[in-house]
Amino acid sequence: MESALDYFAAEALLTWQVELGATEAILDTPVDRYETPKQAPKATVATPASVAEPAAAKPVEVDAVAEAKKAAQGVSDLDGLQDALAAFELCELKRGARNLVFADGNPAARVMIIGDAPGRDEDREGKPFVGAAGTLLDRMFGAIDMGRDVPLSKDAIYITNVLPWRPPQNRDPKPAEIAMLRPFVERHVEIVAPDVIVLMGNVAGEAVLGKRGITRMRGTWQEAFGKPVLPMLHPAYLLRQPRAKREAWADLLSLKAKLEDTA
């Protein structure tokens, strides 16, 4: 026979279980707590706050040389070429320059001069070869009766640069900048169609002939864009090295002879 203590203890335990939420002491079927569930538990749906932000799309790389070729080949005259250059946004030099330096002289000239890049004076005035270097250039070609303001095309010169924008602090243009703007130079030559091209400076030599070393190349006739090409020392170099004017004079006489032979 159970003691009174056992009864009261059992009652207390039952009361405690009821307070914990127990509603049934014995179920109709036994419950196996170790049985594997027939269905996997459903995944918890993430709330918007826990959803990761989509990865930012990688910027599309633009082929600047291909875009320059497309822009250059889409024009048919000098005005269109100047507008295409003004609208070209892939060259960072444009953002730091004051003006687009396009060209000067007579577009019908037999001689087309291609220089390196605008300097401070050119950037300020928007014209190639001004200031001290420009004055020396005019004197050099004046010595063989040619000039940028000469009305007769046979005695006129037409002047441009590889780069239409001044590099910061007159630094040397980078190879990528030269390659990017070369299609515009090539199209410029096609539109002007000169008899002879004169390259002045290392950058012009690299852009047109694919090589540097103007002191070695100068005075030696070469060919590019289907035209005779004469590399010459840049007037800015001659201002720093006056002794080199003798070589420049020899190159001018060679140019004059070439023009007479092809007249």
The alpha carbon of 158 is separated from its chain's Cα centroid by a whole number of angstroms, namely: 26
**Pair 242, 218: CB distance under 8 Å:** no
212 in a structural domain: yes
pLDDT higher than 90, residue 24 = no
Q: Considering only CA atoms, which of 114, 192, 121, 204 is closest in space to residue 160?
A: 114
- The answer to whether 168 and 96 have CB atoms below 8 angstroms apart is yes
* Residue found by looking up tokens 């694919």 in the block: 210
Of 146, 131, 100, the C-alpha closest to 252 is 146
Any bridge partners for residue 172, and if so which?
none
d(CA 115, CA 162) in angstroms, rounded, equals 6
Which of helix, strand or coil describes residue 19?
helix
Give the mean model confidence (pLDDT) for residues 130-157: 96
Tally the domains of the chain.
Answer: 1
Contacting residues for 82 by C-beta, under 8 A, at least 6 apart: 100, 102, 103
Percent helix / strand / coil, the chain, rounded to 5? 45, 10, 40
Residue 4 lies in a domain: no
Lowest-confidence segment of 18-32, 36-50, 127-141, 172-186 by average pLDDT: 36-50
- Residue 194: inside a domain: yes
What are the tens digits of pLDDT across the range 151-168? 899 999 999 999 999 999
Nearest to 226 by CA among 192, 177, 181: 192
- Whether residue 18 lies inside any domain: the answer is no
Query: What mean pLDDT value characterizes the chain?
Result: 89
Task: Give residue 37's pLDDT.
Answer: 61
* 97 belongs to a structural domain: yes
Structural domain includes residue 42:
no
**Tokens coding 52:** 């990761």
Structural domain that includes position 251: 64-261
Burial of 87 (0-12, 13-18, 19+ CB in 10 A): exposed
With a threshold of 0.95, does the pTM exceed it? no
Q: Does 8 map to a domain?
A: no
CATH code for the domain of 167: 3.40.470.10
